[in-house]
Structure 1
Amino acid sequence: MERIDVVSVLILDEERKRVLTVQNEELWSLPGGKREEAESLRQAAIRETKEETGYDVEVEGVVRISERMSSNHVVFFTFRGRVVGGKMATEDPEIQRVEWKDLSEAERLMPWYGDLMALWNGPSVYRNEQGGGHTIRELTHEEDFRSVFPLIRQLRTDLTEEKYVDLLHVMRKEGYRLFGLARDGEWLALAGVGIRHNFYNGRHLFVYDLVTDSQQRSKGYGAMLLTHLEAWAQVNGCERVELTSGVQRLDAHRFYERKMGYNRTSWVFRKELT
């Protein structure tokens, strides 16, 4: 089954409450299209928007990920973006019209996006920025594993570096995966997860470890990383995310429940991916 990546860009005129839309045959949508070979998602979003609308845009994080399984595996990425130049026009022969639509009209024409203002104001689920931005990626190499040991040791204080590396290699064979959030080469937050199956959760992502550097807490890095993992889990067919937290960590409990929207049963926190 072929994997196809499709990008779109949500561009909102906040002052006038309008959204940039394009009409392809009879269907209205956000500007965007298929990612080409050797092209990043961000590059595809910028190129497709220019071709379809005539505008030069900057794009920020992905605010929505969805997928469709048919003859191909199609994954849809919606970026948040803004106009920085150009003028309304189109180079794409498949685009009939380019218009700024009122929010209510845009939501009526594109109901699959839901509340566009909420989407615009929501957290980004993916970032890959250079020059002072934040990068979230999976760790797969020995040098990466060792570089994050000081951070994981803030959570698992009894670990030595060698014990950590030895256990990590065994755990990875059993499906454990490490994701880190970094800025300018410095690790700020780390999560260890695995996809699991059981009768009450079905296919789900279990978060074994989640830690933000003690000097970087309350800056949104934990939320950014957990939101990325939720999107990654959804793309990988998980129905929900589950984690556990010690009853003594009341600050963490408030974060999971109030900030991230998790439901709590005793020390178990669970979130539906819908």
Structure 2
Amino acid sequence: MERIDVVSVLIVDEEQKRVLMVQNEALWSLPGGKREEGETLREAAIRETKEETGYDVEVDHVVQITERMSSDHVVFFTFRGRVVGGKMATEDPEIQRIEWRDLDEAEKLMPWYGNLLALWHSPSVYREEPGGGHTIQELTTEEDFRSAFPLIRQLRNGLTEEKYVDLLHAMRKEGYRLFGLARDGEWMALAGVGIRHNFYNGRHLFVYDLVTDSQQRSKGYGAMLLTHLESWARANGCERVELTSSVQRLDAHRFYEGKMGYIRTSWVFRRDLT
């Protein structure tokens, strides 16, 4: 029996309480379609939405997974998405109309989804795990530390290599640990963390530093590394992960809140692990 993956994207305008939909013949649905060979589910969702609606989108949470067994085994993945560019148009000759439909109308046209706004706020998260030559490891040797300096300097550009090494050794005595994701021996992303305790977070993992190489962003490396650290934190008895981000870093804020599912309070971001 052939396995077929089908993706769709739920895009909600919360202010206007509308959902982006497309009409294919007599059927109204969310934009989406079949995943092609060599694509990840995320890549397929972005491509299909662009082809059917003309919009460039970001996708993060998986809000529903269903499957159908007949002559084929079809698995349907629905992502939460947001429009980040483009304009309404279609490259797909099967798409007859593209419209923003009111939430109540959309729920009547697609009753299998139920409450669309509840789905939109679903806490489930889609992650692409490392593969194809990716490795994640803790940096523990002098050689590791020095090889990571060029990437750390992208985040902390006031450091010299010697000051970085001296501070790193001092910080490690206080519990700081440095993890990295490498591809073919090159660091793609790094994260400096430490386990801390306080009254409001209990035992938790605090992320001091998180950086993805400027030439490798939007490829999922930061998400892969942060996901690994969440698993490591759970295994080490942590109740949540916390980090801070400056008010100017809007792209980082969208990553933490949208892609990783963190809850924001001012410039502090938290994710419960229990």
Task: Specify the TM-score bucket, using the shorter chain as the normaliser.
Answer: 0.5 to 0.7
Counterpart of 2:208 in structure 1 is 208
Q: 2 CA distance for matches of 1:124 and 1:197?
A: 30
Counterpart of 1:7 in structure 2 is none
1:144 partner letter: D
Q: 2 CA distance for matches of 1:188 and 1:177?
A: 17
CA deviation map 1:65-100 (0-9, x unaligned): xxxxxxxxxxxxxxxxxxxxxxxxxxxxxxxxxxxx
Counterpart of 2:30 in structure 1 is none
Counterpart of 1:181 in structure 2 is 181
CA deviation map 1:23-47 (0-9, x unaligned): xxxxxxxxxxxxxxxxxxxxxxxxx
CA deviation map 1:105-144 (0-9, x unaligned): xxxxxxxxxxxxx9xx94256x4x5xx5100000000000
Counterpart of 1:66 in structure 2 is none
Counterpart of 2:145 in structure 1 is 145
Q: CA deviation at 1:254?
A: 0.5
Q: 2 CA distance for matches of 1:236 and 1:258?
A: 26
Q: Which structure 2 residue ranges, 5 or more long, are not aligned?
A: 6-74, 76-121
1:196 partner letter: R
Q: CA deviation at 1:166?
A: 0.2
Which secondary structure does the structure 1 equivalent of 2:242 belong to?
Answer: strand
Alignment of 1:88-107 (within 5 A): none
Counterpart of 1:254 in structure 2 is 254
Which secondary structure does the structure 1 equivalent of 2:246 belong to?
Answer: coil
Which secondary structure does the structure 1 equivalent of 2:248 belong to?
Answer: coil
Counterpart of 1:222 in structure 2 is 222
Q: 1 CA distance for matches of 2:158 and 2:4?
A: 53
| 1:168 equivalenced with 2:168 (yes/no) | yes
Counterpart of 2:156 in structure 1 is 156
Q: 1 CA distance for matches of 2:190 and 2:235?
A: 20
Which secondary structure does the structure 1 equivalent of 2:167 belong to?
Answer: helix
Which secondary structure does the structure 2 equivalent of 1:167 belong to?
Answer: helix
Alignment of 1:102-117 (within 5 A): none
Q: 2 CA distance for matches of 1:187 and 1:253?
A: 23
Counterpart of 1:123 in structure 2 is 127
Which secondary structure does the structure 2 equivalent of 1:214 belong to?
Answer: coil
Which secondary structure does the structure 2 equivalent of 1:148 belong to?
Answer: helix
CA deviation map 1:147-187 (0-9, x unaligned): 00000000000000000000000000000000000000010
| 1:269 equivalenced with 2:269 (yes/no) | yes
Counterpart of 1:65 in structure 2 is none
Moved segments of 4+, more than 4 Å? 13-16
CA contact (8 A) 2:136 2:225 kept: yes
Q: 2 CA distance for matches of 1:143 and 1:14?
A: 45
Q: CA deviation at 1:15?
A: 4.7
Q: TM-score, normalised by structure 2?
A: 0.55
Q: CA deviation at 1:197?
A: 0.3
Q: Which structure 1 residue ranges, 5 or more long, are not aligned?
A: 1-12, 17-102, 104-117
CA contact (8 A) 2:128 2:220 kept: no
Q: CA deviation at 1:196?
A: 0.4
CA deviation map 1:238-259 (0-9, x unaligned): 0000000000000000100000
Q: TM-score, normalised by structure 1?
A: 0.55
1:151 partner letter: L
Q: 1 CA distance for matches of 2:133 and 2:259?
A: 22
Q: 1 CA distance for matches of 2:174 and 2:150?
A: 23
Alignment of 1:6-21 (within 5 A): 14-15=3-4
CA deviation map 1:220-267 (0-9, x unaligned): 100110011011101110000000000000000010000000000000
Counterpart of 2:242 in structure 1 is 242
